[in-house]
Structures are given as structure tokens and as C-alpha cells.
Amino acid sequence: MAYKALPAHFREDFSTTWEARIARRVSDFYGLVKKVDLNGYKKRYNQSEILDMQRKTGRAQKTRISERQTFFRWLLAHEVDLAEVLDEWDAKNLGDIALPDSDIMTQQVDAYNREVDRTIKEAVEGLATVGAEGTSTQALTQVVDSDYADGATDAGLSLKQVIRANRFFKDNDLKRAARCFAFDPEAEDNLLLTAEEVKSSDYVIAGAITAGSMEGMTWMGFQWVSHTGLTQVAGGGGQGGDIVRNLAWAKDHIRFADGERRAYADVLPERSHALQIRTTARMGAYRNEEKAVVAINSLVTA
């Protein structure tokens, strides 16, 4: 005899593990900058102007003393943290489902990596702290705007813009410097649609169409890295269009200080013995010189 009511007793099954939702987990920029030490809450770097030799105009002439101009740059540290709490009975109440304590610690490391990228991006494009007392700021000076192609229309990233960005580095005696180009996915789409030199393996070791992306390629003197966290500015284009700020820089001229990351798992008596999992970190970055950075604005429509 069939049990007609049996389906009412069917049980639901549950996964016993946890999965993180999609997010950037590793740092895109950590390997594209120079690492420096940081032992205080801020650090001043001393710079001096470059001098050239002078030709003598006579025998035993009076010595000409050259004066060297000096400059200052500052690295300012900031602190961040992320804390989450699990109740003392969560492990029992979850039954067969694992307590997500180890998953939380892993995801807090991922959050740290995203903060590293934000810190580096701010150093590349933001106001640099300068002056003997660190009370002045210096903005970027080299920008290729979104209407660069014709001076009348904001457009997506183009080969012409990349060539102009590359020219900045050559003009500034950085032609042999290791350089990178951080680009927005939509900017990459436009470049792939308009520049045959990117798509064809005649111009690059592996054509981007074959690889599916320019990510990791070396082309036009840049190491290319796709990044979804670049700054977007509504109405920021040369003709008022919405733009994303792609960034190119010489790796040695963006300095990052990893001031230390700490992780704790503590039982809190004042919170009914809940388990607190907390990660904290200290870091900072600075731009060594404006000549080593170019912002390339491109139109975004998404």
C-alpha cells in the first residue's frame, strides 16, 4: 500500500559550509608599487633637484657654486579595522552547519586587500602632501582627457590616448621605467573594439581577443591591470560626459607602507562571552612625483 502522505515528511537539506559572495579577493596593485617602511604615524621624504654640469669658459676661472633646490613629500598612515561577533550559542544553534569563524577571518583578509588597493589608488590620483611641515598639497598635473581624440566629443579609451600617456613618460625620462596601466572594464571594451593593435598577436605576444582580456599583458610599454574600483566622475569629461579615471604610473614612484596587519579572536565577557573576530591594519602610500603618473579619462555609459 502506497504512503500517499509521505511527501509531507520529506526533509530539506542544507549545506554545512559557507560561501563568500563575489568580490575582489586579492590586491590588484600591491605588486605594482615600491614598498617602504613606516615606523611613525607619518614620514617625511626629502627630495633634491637635479643639477647639470656647467662647461668651463677659461683657465683657473672662479669656481661657480650651484644651489640645489629641495622638496618634501609626506606619507600619512591611517588605521582600519573590521570586527564581527558570534554569539556563545551560535555553534550549537547552527546544528550541522559549520560556525563561520574561519570563513570570517579569510574574508577579513580579502577586505584588507581591497583597502590596500584603495590606499594605493588614492596615492596615485589624489592630492599629495608636500612642504616642510606637510601643510600643503599638490594635485596631479598630467591628464589625458576624454575628448583628446578630436577636442569636441567625449569618447571611450582609445589608442590615441594610450600613445599620449606613453609620451608623458618618455618626455619625463621614464622611458625605461617599469610602468603599469590600470583600466576600467568598459574602457578595455572600447579599446578592444577600436584598436586592431591590441587584438592582433602581430603586435602583442598573445592577442587580447584570444586571452579574453588585456589583463596581465605588456603592451605600449605598460603592464595592464583591470580594476573595478577606479574613480568615476559624473560630468567630469572635457565635454561634460561621465568619465572613469584610468591610471598609469611608474611603479617605483608610488610608495606603499604596509604598517602591519593584526587578527584577533577573543571571547568577550561583557558581551555574554560572544566570540569577536577582528582584523585591524595600518598602512599608507604616497606619490613620489607628478611626472610619474598620468590620468587617462574615458567616457562611461554603464
Domain assignment of residue 257, yes or no: yes
Report the pLDDT value the prediction gives residue 210, as an integer from 0 to 100: 56
User: Is beta strand 254-268 parallel, antiparallel or unpaired with respect to 34-36?
Assistant: parallel
Query: Cα–chain-centroid distance for residue 34?
Result: 13
Beta bridge partners, 83, equal 278
Report the pLDDT value the prediction gives residue 205, as an integer from 0 to 100: 45
- Cα–Cα dist 85/99, whole Å: 12
- pTM greater than the 0.85 cutoff: yes
Domain assignment of residue 53, yes or no: no
Domain assignment of residue 170, yes or no: yes
Contact between 77 and 41 under an 8 Å Cβ cutoff? The reply is yes
Domain assignment of residue 13, yes or no: no
Domain assignment of residue 1, yes or no: no
- Cα–Cα dist 159/112, whole Å: 34
In which domain, by residue range, is 137 found? 23-48+69-302
Report the pLDDT value the prediction gives residue 1, as an integer from 0 to 100: 55
Q: Which three cell numbers stand for residue 86?
A: 558570534
Task: For the chain, give the number of residues.
Answer: 302
Report the pLDDT value the prediction gives residue 204, as an integer from 0 to 100: 54
In one-letter notation, the amino acid at residue 19 is: E
In one-letter notation, the amino acid at residue 175 is: K
The CATH number that applies at residue 229 is 3.90.1690
Q: How many Cα atoms are found within 13 Å in the side-chain-facing hemisphere of 205?
A: 9
Helix or strand holding residue 186 (H, E)? helix 185-194
Number of domains in the chain: 1
Q: How many Cα atoms are found within 13 Å in the side-chain-facing hemisphere of 144?
A: 26
- Cα–Cα dist 261/204, whole Å: 39
Question: How many CB atoms sit inside 10 A of residue 4's CB?
Answer: 7
- Cα–Cα dist 247/239, whole Å: 20
Contact between 216 and 274 under an 8 Å Cβ cutoff? The reply is no
Report the pLDDT value the prediction gives residue 191, as an integer from 0 to 100: 86
pLDDT tens-digit profile, the chain (302 residues):
567 787 787 777 777 777 777 777 899 999 999 999 988 899 999 998 888 898 988 899 988 888 888 999 999 999 999 999 999 999 898 888 788 888 999 999 999 999 999 999 999 999 999 999 999 999 999 999 999 988 888 999 998 999 999 999 999 999 899 999 999 999 988 888 876 665 555 555 445 555 567 887 888 889 999 999 999 999 999 888 899 999 999 999 999 999 899 999 999 999 999 999 999 999 999 999 999 999 999 999 86
Domain assignment of residue 8, yes or no: no
- Cα–Cα dist 14/24, whole Å: 27
Domain assignment of residue 220, yes or no: yes
Domain assignment of residue 58, yes or no: no
